[in-house]
Chains A and B, each alone.
Chain A
Amino acid sequence: MSSNKKIFVAPIIYVLFILIPIYWLLIMSFKTNAEIGGSLTLYPHQPTLDNYLVIFSDKSWYMGYVNAIINVLINVSLSLIVAIPAAYSFSRYSFFGDRGLFFGFLTFRMMAPAILLIPMVQIFSSLELIDTHIAVALTHCFFNVPIAIWILEGFISSVPKEIDEMSKIDGYSFIKYFYKILIPQISPGIAVTAFFCFLFSWVEILLSNALTVVNAKPIGAIMSRVSSIFVANISILSAAGILTLIPGVIFVIFVRKHLARGFSMGRVG
């Protein structure tokens, strides 16, 4: 593509538009509340690590990150474990109601967390699972399993069917085929799917807040509690906000090469 050689201004302006608010959050996290409340400064004049120290030394703060990460890890593993065989099924077999079922799954991706709030709380209280990581992880499956199936189905469909048949001739059992052949073939797809599941679960707050009290409360919920009590505590909320960015940034750097394909739902061409 010939236009590739030119460097355009539009993406640079767009990236600046994205980075300025993040920069603003970053510098506030190194400021004192006095400096924030004083006057507008474009960089911290008396940089301080106090906000981060508070978070790392206070159990009620740092456990928020631990909980958020546990919730997300369980959700991502669970979503992948159930979605890989389901995506394989949709990709390789035609069966009664396959298209309807595929759409049926997707409709749950369309449901608002606000709708499911009350039933979820009631289900998990009757199971005595309120304030557990599994409750949050299982709840987030309603939007992550459908999206995982959708993306993985695309990736699996691009693996030629001849490979299935050849492995059968070579005497591979179905399970061995799955682990030895299919999964290595679609590993970029699995990485990208994990990224998407991570993303949607990591940013959800309404349900994960409602289903937890202390032991499984993720950082976002802790932030919302703090912000309603200490209206003025901007600097510490900024530091907490910056820390929520780190896992996602690490993840996106790892999957950057496969991200584009993940966004086209695993389809090439």
Chain B
Amino acid sequence: MMRKSKDKIAYLLLSPALLVMLISGVIPMSMILYYSVHDSFYGNNFIWVGMSWFQQVLSSAEFYGAFFRSIGFSALIISIEIPLGIYIALRLPQKGFLSNLYIVLISLPLLIPSIVVGHIWKFLTLPEIGLISTSLEYLGVNYDMNDPIIVWITLALMDSWHWTSLVVLLCFAGLKNIPDAYYQAAIVDGASGWSVFKNIQLPKLKLVLLIAVLLRFIDSFIIYTEAYVLTRGGPGVSTTFLSHELVQTATIQFDLGEGGAMSVIYSLVVLCVSWVFFSLIVRKNNEQ
């Protein structure tokens, strides 16, 4: 670790970033906290109501439904994308033209706006004219977007298509940092591919994997646009996630208090998970 000096200039250098974050982060979050403990009339008269919005949210079946669907979705896509991402990264060439070509091609889905991702997958699954739906029908699979299981599989497939590349690129970067000497030592010892992976590659990948799981958890937990374009939250409420519930409450019903309380609960969950991961990342970082 680098020896760091103490100087008041540190605060001066931080001040532009702090100012920007004050406007785009701290003030909006404070407003949400304020809404969550007040009742509003036409958005301008505020009355202190204490914890009653929280009680309302925490006793609402819709909230729990959306909450557990979001958690379930995050768990599902992490369990697909992390192993798949590691596997692909291990199989990529490390150097040369082919390596660069792969990197550019693999990055493609990450560069597509979420609304376009939603449209691509909607078009792929349209009955009669979509590539996926017609191919599966041809193979005798009854591909029906009114079936919640089919819709969940499609959503998981879409998310894996969109985001596995992030895991691949993170792991690829992690693998690049392993010195050649490690592999040479393994060859001398006659280590098998699996034992190279378990004893050399996986331990070195721990840091990037923590970052990968954290980023994938956060971004899938807040999924909004792609899922909305593809499913509109249906069939029924089977794919209505926390963000959809939140936008519905805050903008369509214009329930600032209830929306605020939901936002606070949601932020606390994300904060706790991030804190755990962040401590692990810092510890791992200091070890390396």
Question: Residues of A at under 8 Å CB distance from B?
Answer: 1-4, 7-8, 10-11, 14-15, 17-22, 24-25, 28, 36-37, 39-40, 78, 81-83, 85-86, 88-95, 98-99, 101, 103, 105-120, 122-123, 138-142, 145-146, 149, 157, 161, 174, 199, 202-206, 210, 219-220, 223-224, 227, 234, 237-238, 240-241, 244-245, 248-249, 251-253, 256-257, 259-265, 267-269
Instruction: Please tell me if B251 contacts chain A, counting CB pairs below 8 Å.
Output: yes
- B247–chain A nearest beta-carbon distance, Å: 5
Contact present for B250 and A259 (CB under 8 Å): no
Q: Contacts A101-B14, A142-B21, A260-B176; is A14 near B106 (CB within 8 Å)?
A: yes
Return the 3 tightest CB-CB contacts between A and B, nearest first: A248-B111, A112-B222, A119-B28
Q: Contacts A95-B11, A117-B251, A256-B104; is A220 near B113 (CB within 8 Å)?
A: yes
In the assembly, what is the distance between CA of A149 and CA of B18, in Å?
12
Main secondary structure of the interface of B (DSSP, over half): helix
- Residue in A1, A203, A241 whose beta carbon sits within 8 Å of that of B180 in the complex: A1
Instruction: Scan B110-152; emit 1 where CB is below 8 A from any A CB, else 0.
Output: 1111111001110110000101001000000000000000000
- A49–chain B nearest beta-carbon distance, Å: 19
Contact present for B119 and A145 (CB under 8 Å): no
Chain B residues lying within 8 Å of A98, measured Cβ to Cβ, are 10
Q: Contacts A2-B187, A11-B92, A224-B115; is A260 near B172 (CB within 8 Å)?
A: yes
Pairs A–B under 8 Å by Cβ, sample size 13 = A1-B94, A11-B88, A21-B161, A24-B131, A40-B131, A86-B18, A99-B282, A103-B275, A206-B247, A224-B229, A259-B169, A268-B177, A269-B177
- Residue in B91, B247, B282 whose beta carbon sits within 8 Å of that of A11 in the complex: B91
Contact present for B28 and A120 (CB under 8 Å): yes
- A86–chain B nearest beta-carbon distance, Å: 4
Contact present for B108 and A249 (CB under 8 Å): yes
Contact present for A145 and B14 (CB under 8 Å): no
In the assembly, what is the distance between CA of A81 and CA of B15, in Å?
12
Instruction: Please tell me if B17 contacts chain A, counting CB pairs below 8 Å.
Output: yes
Chain A residues lying within 8 Å of B76, measured Cβ to Cβ, are none
